[in-house]
Amino acid sequence: MVRLKKSSEVKRYIASNEAMGEILDFAAALSRDMLVCGANVERVSLAVYKITHAYGLHDVCPYILSNYVSISARSSDGTYGSRQMKVPR
């Protein structure tokens, strides 16, 4: 994951669809790993919300179950993206 310091750099970074996909992939993988390790569903949802907002995504809708993760979000230029992932037992 790329570490950025200035908010203007973050806005440039998420301007492309590829960058938004990377952020959503990271959030979905982190959610899966947290659930496998036994994290509470509410904490996982809050972590996804904070991560995606930190990188400038809007209208974030995390749908987290104990065996399924679905995250959708909108970038600042209006592009929508989503990721779904099954959580292993």
d(C-alpha 40, C-alpha 78), whole Å: 31
Q: Tell me if 2 is assigned to some domain.
A: no
Residue 65, in any domain of the structure: yes
Q: 1 lies in a domain?
A: no
pLDDT band of 21, cuts 50, 70, 90 = confident
Give the tens place of pLDDT for each residue, 38-83.
999 999 999 999 999 888 888 999 999 999 999 999 987 888 999 9
Give residue 15's pLDDT band: very low, low, confident or very high (50, 70, 90): very low
Within-domain flag for 32? yes
Q: What is the pTM of this model?
A: 0.78
Range of the domain at 57: 7-86
Note whether 25 and 31 are within 8 A (CB).
no
Residue 24 lies in a domain: yes
Q: Residue 78: inside a domain, yes or no? A: yes
